[in-house]
Amino acid sequence: MNSCFFVLYLSVVVLAEPRQQHVDPPVPPGGQKVVNVTNPRVIEASLTGIEEINQLNGYGETMLREVIYKVINATEQVVNGELLRLDMEVGPSECFNTIMNIGKNSAECPLLSSELVHPCFTEVLLRNWTVPQHLALNVSCQPIENVPGVWPKQIV
């Protein structure tokens, strides 16, 4: 009788044991984690990054305004705020990079051509207790190359 009870007990334990699902290991404190590119914080950070790119390119009626084509990858790290690192594809728009066009996106200033899209990287610090809440810390872009009639990017 003891052996029957033992077999029955093992059957119940094995059947009752939950199946383990794959779970990503937790991010260590201060570590980076991947963030969905549609996350509102990522969208806000990308807008801060593109404004920094346009500011560094200089305002005037000889430069075209850069707009975001796509955010490719985003990571987040908790520091003294949230540090978002974004890999984006950007390109010149149909608008000049004038003070009047600050804040305009690709809906208001359409991309000139998808052939002119080039990669950019930006780091944006989000701190909701400071003004401004978003601060671009680092911006770098690869130049537009080998396209006749288009000048190279100024930010490298």
Q: Is the pTM above the cut of 0.85?
A: no
Q: What is the CATH number of domain 29-141?
A: 3.10.450.10
Q: What three-state secondary structure class fits 92?
A: strand
The residue ranges of every structural domain in the chain are 29-141
Q: What three-state secondary structure class fits 66?
A: strand
Q: Which tens digit of pLDDT belongs to each residue from 17-70?
A: 555 666 667 777 778 999 999 999 999 999 999 999 999 999 988 889 999 999
Q: How many residues does the chain have?
A: 156
Radius of gyration of the chain (CA): 24
In this prediction, residue 152 carries a pLDDT of: 47
